[in-house]
Amino acid sequence: MSAFLCPPAVIHGEHTVETSQIVAEVRDRHPHAAWAPRTDGIAAGTGIATRGWMLPLEAAVAPGGGGGLGAVGSAPAQDALAREGFSPRDVERAIAALEAIPAPQTVQERTAPAWEAVQSYGEHAARGALQIAALDVSDVDCLITSNSTTPALPGLDVALANRLGLRDDVMLLPATQWACVAGTRSLALAADLVAADPDRVVLVVVSEALSTTYQPADDTLESLIVRLLFADTAVAAVVTGRRRPESALRLDAAWHHTLPGTQDLHRLDTRADGTHFVMDRRGPRAVQETVTAMWEWLRLRYRDDAGSWHPDVLLAHPGGTRVLEYMEQTMPDTWPGGLLEFSRDSYRSGNRGGAAVFDIMRRAYDAGQQPGGRTVLYAAAPGLSATALEGEWL
């Protein structure tokens, strides 16, 4: 396996949302929640001060277009009240009061504007990646896309094929449910595709509006953490089977790992008011198991160089600070410090899901990497599933 990756294009959400804004909104909405006294400490513990969203915070917390009567409607409610002996005037007042109660947004109200943003951001990132690679849309032979929080059919692959004006014989590969592992796994798939045909040009696009999981009515501790974690980002990169002047990284090997029986630890639930990201507190420990398995893969891969080989940078999206700390604690003692510098830097402005590894790689690339330096890319996602790649800077 040898594939060549050009530097990615990264488009951050244009609306800056401060952690203090989220804390204020949560305090106002859930003043009596069991975790309310700990809100400041929980927010500080994420290490995230700001994040960029494709839509403003006001869009996430706005009430829905319907009133408190919801799907029942005013006419049936009027009839029911009249049958109970309410006077016409009392019925009118009751209906007016019920209609004034704010209703939560529906799935359509939450998803439709986010889906439009995902397409627009994805197109922007795709065009940026092609420009970085000095290629035209007509050069693309395959498009791999991922977006997990804005389901649609046809999906992002078809949307971008039309927006970009791709050739009608381009292979479209949507990977909607890869979520946080989309960055690494799409690169692994792209590497397999160019290995089969070295002249193939693969465009990878990940566009995530994770802010759609912000659910104002939820009062669980897990929901508070979800509110604080996520950022919206679109990324794209070109993968080729032959080295180009614009190539930045050669991918040499891929590794995949899935933990059985962990599919319920992290998941998306679609309810009447939109998408909810559900987390189990056992999640970080399960992610750590995939990290341990990855260390073993690398040990076996470089057993002839045991004690001397180490990556020069580790581009890891483990989802949170606890797993980053675990990675630092469990990596071989002979490895240098600071390998996760760019991962931490990216996480300080939010969990970007499947777009994270591309954002981390872009930060490392912009900082400058020595040709010949070794790197490992890693991500874990709901499932619980992980993918890693190992390669060399060019």
Least confident of 83-87, 147-151, 171-175: 83-87
Q: What is the pLDDT of residue 222?
A: 87
Residues 195-224, mean pLDDT to the nearest whole number: 92
**Number of residues that this document lists for the chain:** 394
Question: For the whole model, what pTM was predicted?
Answer: 0.89
Alpha-carbon span 135 to 131, nearest angstrom: 6
Per the CB < 8 A criterion, the answer to whether 184 and 377 are in contact is: yes
Domain boundaries, the chain: 3-62+104-240, 249-393
Pick the CATH number of 3-62+104-240 from 3.40.47.10, 1.10.3720.10, 2.60.120.260, 3.10.110.10: 3.40.47.10
E-only strand ranges, the chain: 3-5, 9-12, 15-18, 50-53, 142-146, 171-174, 201-208, 233-240, 249-258, 266-271, 274-279, 313-317, 374-381, 385-393
Q: Matching CATH topology for 3-62+104-240 and 249-393?
A: yes
Confidence of residue 96 (pLDDT cuts 50, 70, 90): low
335-386 pLDDT, tens digit each: 999 999 999 999 999 999 999 999 999 999 999 999 999 999 999 988 789 9
CATH topology of domain 249-393: Peroxisomal Thiolase; Chain A, domain 1 (3.40.47)
In this structure, what DSSP letter does residue 230 have?
A: B
276-309 pLDDT, tens digit each: 777 766 667 778 889 999 999 999 999 877 678 9
